[in-house]
Amino acid sequence: MSLLPILRFPDPRLRKVAARVDKIDDGIRRLARDMAETMYEAPGIGLAATQVDVHARVIVVDASETRDQLLTLINPEILQQDGLQVCEEGCLSVPGVYDKVERAEHVVVRYQDLDGAEQTVDATGLLAVCLQHEIDHLQGRVFVEHLSQLKQLRIRNKLAKQARITA
């Protein structure tokens, strides 16, 4: 397994829409393992393949306090969503930035597991937020796009300044 480089907002590759995975093979399984290792190391609670510049519909999440409930979702699709919650979100692709985002409180997501079997997950709270956040990445959206234009501009400026300082 190896750590993968995470793209940073506003990298245009984060806007690419991920393609459906037609065949779950050793390459996809290796990608999922590497993504999980990268997510845990970062540390984060979710990571989409788009964030590591692989444009396939694969996400890994672990919103558990014990960090031992890894879910790998291939071709995830939200079947149902209801309720409303506002949660402070952050993102491995937007380091150091946190803001409140409005999401569904409850979601039902259909996906394929690493063996290709169809599964569903019924999620509320933090797991529901995480799933919606990562599925957004697969659709070429970053959480800051849920914020006002002014906040987005401030975030871009902050990240550009950070990049200049570290360069």
Per the CB < 8 A criterion, the answer to whether 9 and 142 are in contact is yes
Q: Which of 10, 28, 4 is nearest to 115 (CA)?
A: 28
- Within 10 Å of residue 122's Cβ, how many Cβ atoms? 12
User: Known binder of ligand: residue 55?
Assistant: no
Taking the domain 12-166, which CATH number applies? 3.90.45.10
Question: What is the block-wise mean pLDDT of the chain (167 residues), using blocks of 10 residues?
Answer: 91 97 98 98 97 98 96 98 96 94 98 98 97 98 94 88 78
Nearest 5°: CA angle at 37, between 34 and 38? 85
Q: Give me the pLDDT at residue 64, please.
A: 95
Distance CA(92)–CA(161), nearest Å, equals: 18
Amino acid at 88: E
Q: Which of 30, 130, 138 is nearest to 77 (CA)?
A: 138
User: Known binder of ligand: residue 87?
Assistant: no
Q: Which residues contact 103 (CB under 8 A, 6 or more apart)?
A: 84, 85, 86, 87, 128, 129, 132, 133
Residue 67 is encoded by which pair of tokens?
A: 């960090």
Q: Give me the pLDDT at residue 2, please.
A: 87
Q: Which of 18, 122, 21 is nearest to 78 (CA)?
A: 122
Per the CB < 8 A criterion, the answer to whether 144 and 94 are in contact is yes
Q: Give me the pLDDT at residue 167, please.
A: 67
Per the CB < 8 A criterion, the answer to whether 120 and 110 are in contact is yes
Q: Is 138 exposed, middle or buried (0-12, 13-18, 19+ CB in 10 A)?
A: buried
Residues carrying an active site annotation: 134
Q: Give me the pLDDT at residue 112, please.
A: 98
User: Known binder of ligand: residue 130?
Assistant: no
